DNA sequence: TCCTCATGTGTAATCGATTACATTCAAATA
DNA sequence: TATTTGAATGTAATCGATTACACATGAGGA
């Protein structure tokens, strides 16, 4: 079933049918009705490839996952993609999901661009000095980045890590903590600085005592640090990642110490373990990334975006509330 | 840059360039070399839409996620999609990820088919009496289903739940359990029967004593059942889902009882909690689903597939080992 | 020498839509 | 009445590739 068939059935030319499909105003209402009825009756759908070819536009956006990067706890992909899809759903856009190697992945992006398959990218797994950024900037191709790096010469969307650090300390303060241990991530990643900076802001503003140790975001590092310091000294612990909080959690169980504990990221396990954490709405990240990209594709002005985070309060701090 | 430009640069016709691109054997080697060099030099890529239109074939497969179905713990999507993408990566296929409503989602599938955008589907979130199945069967469109239902009139791929049930009991038996509590899922879903049937097979084969209670896969139901029975009576507990195992786990912590415990699904939290569980390799599910679909699209014969599962042994049973 | 045949290449039709331009027809205006 | 105008529709070119068919060339056989 193609446009020609519909035209024949309706006794009009293909041009008129096309006009109806594309909502051109210059079609007589009765003609439009008649054609729509036939289209409906035969469940006609225009050929996607013919349409894209002729219109010289793709309604695809691309997301490339890194090959072989299966982390044990990925709770990110589903809500993120759902958010993206939710936006696309309402705007006649589609998503091509593809994969590429971490190294040498650029050629894959180039292929998708040169074959005119996609009209924009959402970039994930950003690196410092990311060759993808350099390339996309150089040809002025629309894209939005999830996260930031030091160069930061692009449009990005990122949860407000700074605010997250702030809220964590504030929450501990509110349940009565005065001497807090902050287990930071390792120096290097931008998130480390962002979260730390929020933590420091809260410290100064609220006047709590703060000690800082540096882990590396991993469970093991959390455990190690918890073991090496005297936890008794503190009346609250804030970790820059849930994984580190799990390490601390395990150590506390072992040693019988009980202190208020907060993590960061709000992984699903935190809900099950009852650990308070800083929650980022990943669905919103996806949704807004798609929205921003859509605007960029339409040549509209777009500003980078920080998404608010919030504290998911659970057992691990709740039971210490005064 | 289009094929015409390449042809001009090489001093040949577009047909010859096209032949080179499509590996037609009837091109003189020197001509081929010359053209390939120019293609390489200019990084030419054929227009995807033109190619698909003319060849009357799409190299897209489709997966539709259900809208607004954000479960707290989704550890499935990423490895599944990674598996799918890994196969596609090597076979010049691409994935269109889209979404549709749980109810009335069928029209979305129809659209993708009628617009000729996709040449096959991987069906997830299967229901009993799934209208998608009826429709796809009726028009003989290629698809592969993740999971099974009672009708089961389709090609599917599914982890071997039966084997999982068997292995769970066997593992408990091997660490010395003789009187086991099995907390099943609710009657209805196919997995309930499958897992239970494996459990029963092991019971008969190994001669252990077995008691069965029915939960509903949820954490709460696990907790409730653990509380309502006398856990002391048993020397091992096997749950048909990790969530139920978490409920049991929590109750045991509270009540100070310690018994070997196994869950099913191997959610990420199980690793963190140290709970032994039945693991399904989700990456393999995705990879093989893509492979099977590819064969179906190429009109090859394909048989449904059960993927082996294994026991991820952890603390919750390890420490009881004799 | 002439014919056949294989090899390599070019010409032009084609896929199914969109759209610039042409055409028709009736109403409005001079 | 003749002319202009605008609305509605049709004709045909076009997007960029693939491919059936035509054609040219030279080798090999009669």
CB contact under 8 A, B58 and A47: no
Quickly give A223 CA vs D30 C1' distance in Å: 93
**Are residues B113 and B221 part of one domain?**
no
Quickly give B76 CA vs D17 C1' distance in Å: 39
**Are residues A293 and A155 part of one domain?**
yes
Q: How far is A171 from chain B (nearest CA, A)?
A: 23
Nearest nucleotide by C1' from A13 CA? D10
Among the listed residues A266, A273, A253, the one whose alpha carbon sits nearest the alpha carbon of residue A316: A273
pLDDT of residue A17: 97
- Answer whether residue A84 is part of any domain: yes
**Are residues B35 and B19 part of one domain?**
yes
- Answer whether residue B51 is part of any domain: no
B11 Cβ nearer than 7 Å to chain C strand = yes
pLDDT of residue B73: 64
Six token digits for residue B23: 């590996």
pLDDT of residue B239: 98
- Answer whether residue B52 is part of any domain: no
B contacts of A267 (beta carbons < 8 Å): 268
pLDDT of residue A294: 98
**Are residues A225 and A82 part of one domain?**
no
Domain region containing A35 = 3-46
Which of A3, A47, A49 is best to mutate for the B interface (most B CBs within 10 A)? A49
B contacts of A44 (beta carbons < 8 Å): 114
- Answer whether residue A235 is part of any domain: yes
Among the listed residues B117, B195, B127, B131, the one whose alpha carbon sits nearest the alpha carbon of residue B163: B195
B contacts of A273 (beta carbons < 8 Å): 269, 272-273
Quickly give A1 CA vs C15 C1' distance in Å: 13
Residue among A52, A70, A82 minimizing CB distance to B70: A82
pLDDT of residue A254: 86
Which of A269, A286, A290 is best to mutate for the B interface (most B CBs within 10 A)? A269
**Integer Cα distance of B190 and A235 in angstroms:** 50
**Are residues A276 and A166 part of one domain?**
yes
Residue among A75, A111, A269 minimizing CB distance to B272: A269
Q: Residue range B304-320: average pLDDT?
A: 95
pLDDT of residue A43: 96
Over 80: is that where the pLDDT of B315 sits? yes
Residue A189 C-alpha from the chain's centroid: 17
**Are residues B224 and B124 part of one domain?**
no
* Domain at B114, CATH number: 3.40.50.2300
CB contact under 8 A, A78 and B89: no
pLDDT of residue A273: 86
Chain A 257-296, CB < 7 Å to strand C: none
**Are residues A261 and A178 part of one domain?**
yes
- Answer whether residue A66 is part of any domain: yes
Q: What is the pLDDT of residues B132-183, one digit of tens each?
A: 999 999 999 999 999 999 999 999 999 999 999 999 999 999 999 999 999 9
**Are residues A177 and A234 part of one domain?**
yes
**Are residues B252 and B169 part of one domain?**
yes
% chain B with pLDDT above 70: 99
**Integer Cα distance of B295 and A304 in angstroms:** 44
- Answer whether residue A203 is part of any domain: yes
Six token digits for residue A185: 């991530």
Quickly give A54 CA vs C14 C1' distance in Å: 15
All residues at 6 or more sequence positions from B69 whose CB lies less than 8 Å from its CB, including other chains: A82, B102, B125
**Are residues B205 and B103 part of one domain?**
no
Q: How far is B52 from chain A (nearest CA, A)?
A: 6
Domain count, chain B: 3
Quickly give B34 CA vs D26 C1' distance in Å: 23
Chain B 56-85, CB < 7 Å to strand C: 56
Residues A314 and A274 sit within 8 Å (Cβ to Cβ): yes
CB contact under 8 A, B82 and A94: no
* Residue in chain A lying closest to B52 (CA): A49
Chain A 54-113, CB < 7 Å to strand C: 54-55
**Are residues A272 and A166 part of one domain?**
yes
pLDDT of residue B180: 98
* Domain at B36, CATH number: 1.10.260.40
Helices (H), B175-215: 190-206
Quickly give B30 CA vs D29 C1' distance in Å: 29
Residue stretches of chain A with pLDDT short of 70: 71-73
pLDDT of residue A104: 82
Strands in chain B per DSSP E = 60-66, 94-100, 121-123, 143-146, 156-159, 179-184, 209-214, 236-239, 261-264, 276-280, 305-307, 309-312
pLDDT of residue A253: 87
- Using a 10 angstrom Cβ sphere, with 0-12 exposed, 13-18 middle and 19 or more buried, the burial of residue A22 is exposed
* Residue in chain B lying closest to A92 (CA): B98
Six token digits for residue B305: 């597939």
* Residue in chain A lying closest to B114 (CA): A45
**Are residues A138 and A64 part of one domain?**
yes
Q: Residue range B250-272: average pLDDT?
A: 92
Helices (H), chain A: 3-10, 14-21, 29-42, 48-55, 77-89, 106-114, 131-139, 161-174, 190-206, 219-228, 242-255, 268-273, 282-297, 315-318
Give CA separation, B47 vs A43, A47, B38, B90, B265, in Å. Answer: 28, 16, 17, 20, 43
Give the DSSP letter of residue A207: T
Chain B 127-166, CB < 7 Å to strand C: none
- Answer whether residue A52 is part of any domain: no
CB contact under 8 A, A70 and B76: no
- Answer whether residue A53 is part of any domain: no
Q: Which element (helix H / strand E) includes B12?
A: none
Quickly give B249 CA vs D15 C1' distance in Å: 63
CB contact under 8 A, B73 and A246: no
B contacts of A50 (beta carbons < 8 Å): 49, 53
Residues A261 and A245 sit within 8 Å (Cβ to Cβ): yes
pLDDT of residue B72: 61
């Amino acid at each position: 079933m193609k446009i020609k068939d519909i035209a024949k059935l309706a006794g009009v030319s293909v041009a008129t049918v096309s006009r109806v499909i594309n909502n051109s105003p210059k079609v007589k209402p009765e003609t439009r009705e008649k054609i729509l009825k036939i289209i409906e009756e035969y469940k006609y759908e225009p050929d996607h490839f013919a349409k894209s070819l002729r219109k010289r536009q793709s309604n695809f956006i691309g997301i490339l996952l890194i090959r072989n990067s299966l982390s044990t706890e990925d709770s990110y992909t589903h809500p993120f993609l759902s958010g993206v899809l939710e936006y696309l759903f309402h705007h006649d856009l589609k998503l091509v999901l593809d994969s590429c190697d971490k190294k040498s992945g650029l050629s894959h992006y180039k292929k998708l661009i040169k074959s005119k398959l996609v009209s924009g990218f959402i970039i994930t797994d950003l690196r410092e000095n990311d060759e993808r950024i350099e390339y996309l900037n150089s040809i002025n191709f629309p894209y939005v980045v999830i996260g930031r790096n030091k160069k930061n010469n692009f449009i990005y969307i990122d949860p407000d890590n700074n605010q997250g650090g702030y809220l964590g300390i504030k929450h501990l303060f509110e349940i009565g903590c005065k001497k807090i241990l902050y287990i930071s991530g390792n120096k290097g990643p931008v998130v480390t600085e962002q979260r730390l900076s929020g933590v420091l802001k809260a410290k100064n503003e609220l006047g709590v005592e703060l000690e800082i140790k540096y882990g590396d975001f991993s469970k093991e590092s959390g455990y190690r640090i918890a073991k090496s310091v005297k936890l008794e000294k503190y009346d609250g612990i804030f970790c820059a990642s849930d994984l580190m909080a799990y390490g601390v959690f395990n150590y506390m169980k072992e040693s019988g110490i009980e202190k208020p504990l907060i993590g960061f990221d709000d992984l699903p396990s935190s809900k099950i373990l009852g650990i308070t954490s800083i929650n980022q709405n990943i669905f919103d990240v996806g949704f807004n990334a798609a929205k921003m990209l859509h605007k960029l594709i339409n040549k509209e002005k777009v500003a980078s975006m920080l998404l608010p985070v919030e504290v998911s309060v659970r057992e691990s701090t709740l039971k210490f509330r005064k």
